[in-house]
């Protein structure tokens, strides 16, 4: 499985933008970049995904480097509710099937939001 | 929609006991899966199902059984609980196996003494 590298923790202030980085230097051409987050004592929650182009949705934006070896999840105005562990996940949609399509969660980045 | 529901929320078992963790979804999703999350580690896939009557193993299947008799339900059975199975268990579902978004339940916290 292609690996991702994220900082263990980051801190932000409420109502400021947050940029969460993810390195994935061994990404393959069929790997999609997914972001999930896990609020305290809850199950993971889908945030956003992308392949090559930058993506926006109501929760966040995803900026993907031109060589696809890194990406950044952008929360435009952090709120206290955004305090969570954020997971950057590569998901290969090009091969095999079965458990190849599983989501492989690493340790993620713990985001703390200060009031 | 209730989404993905799991019962119980908490459970304590003694070594050797068996039990079933329940998972249900009301979104008519084909794909369902079970993960476990241990302290300081990411989620690991236990078993998954691509539709009623079809199940397969994930990366850590030993000690667990699953079945999928209906689209809605995907129970996880612990045959003979061991302390190593102390963990938080999450059930997830998605429209299909290839769907971009998976929906997770709130989890079951299991302690085996």
| pLDDT tens digits, A63-109 | 999 999 999 999 999 999 999 999 999 987 765 555 556 788 888 99
d(CA A35, CA A47): 5
d(CA A80, CA A106): 23
* Among the partner residues A43, A103, A108, nearest to B106 by beta-carbon distance: A43
Give the chain B residue nearest A105 (alpha carbons). B42
* Among the partner residues A43, A49, A97, nearest to B104 by beta-carbon distance: A43
d(CA A13, CA A113): 5
Q: What is the interface size between A and B, counted as CB pairs within 8 Å? A: 55
d(CA A26, CA B52): 36
B106 touches chain A (CB under 8 A): yes
Phi, psi (rounded to 5 degrees) for A101: -90, 5
A93 touches chain B (CB under 8 A): yes
| pLDDT tens digits, B40-87 | 788 999 999 999 999 999 989 999 999 999 999 999 999 999 999 999
CB contact under 8 A, B42 and A97: no
A3 touches chain B (CB under 8 A): no
Distances (CA, A) of A95 to A100, B50, B105: 7, 16, 27
| pLDDT tens digits, A25-66 | 999 888 899 999 999 999 999 999 999 999 999 999 999 999
B66 touches chain A (CB under 8 A): no
d(CA A65, CA A52): 8
């Amino acid at each position: 499985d292609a690996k991702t590298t994220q900082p263990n923790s980051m801190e932000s202030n409420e109502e400021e933008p947050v940029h969460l980085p993810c390195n994935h230097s061994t990404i393959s051409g069929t790997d999609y970049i997914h972001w999930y987050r896990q609020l305290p004592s809850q199950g993971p929650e889908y945030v956003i995904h992308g392949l090559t182009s930058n993506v926006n949705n109501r929760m966040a934006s995803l900026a993907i480097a031109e060589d696809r070896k890194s990406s950044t999840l952008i929360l435009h105005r952090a709120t206290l509710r955004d305090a969570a562990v954020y997971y950057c996940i590569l998901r290969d949609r090009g091969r095999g099937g079965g458990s190849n399509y599983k989501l492989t969660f690493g340790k993620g980045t713990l985001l703390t939001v200060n009031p | 929609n209730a989404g993905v529901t799991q019962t119980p929320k908490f459970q304590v078992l003694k070594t050797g006991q068996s039990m079933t963790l329940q998972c249900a979804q009301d979104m008519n999703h084909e794909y369902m899966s079970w993960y476990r999350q241990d302290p300081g580690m990411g989620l690991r896939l236990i078993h998954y199902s691509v539709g009623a009557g079809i199940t397969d193993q994930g990366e850590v299947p030993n000690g667990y059984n699953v079945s999928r008799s209906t689209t809605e339900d995907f129970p996880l059975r612990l045959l003979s609980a061991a302390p190593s199975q102390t963990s938080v268990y999450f059930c997830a579902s998605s429209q299909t196996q290839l769907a971009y978004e998976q929906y997770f339940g709130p989890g079951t916290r299991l302690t085996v003494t």
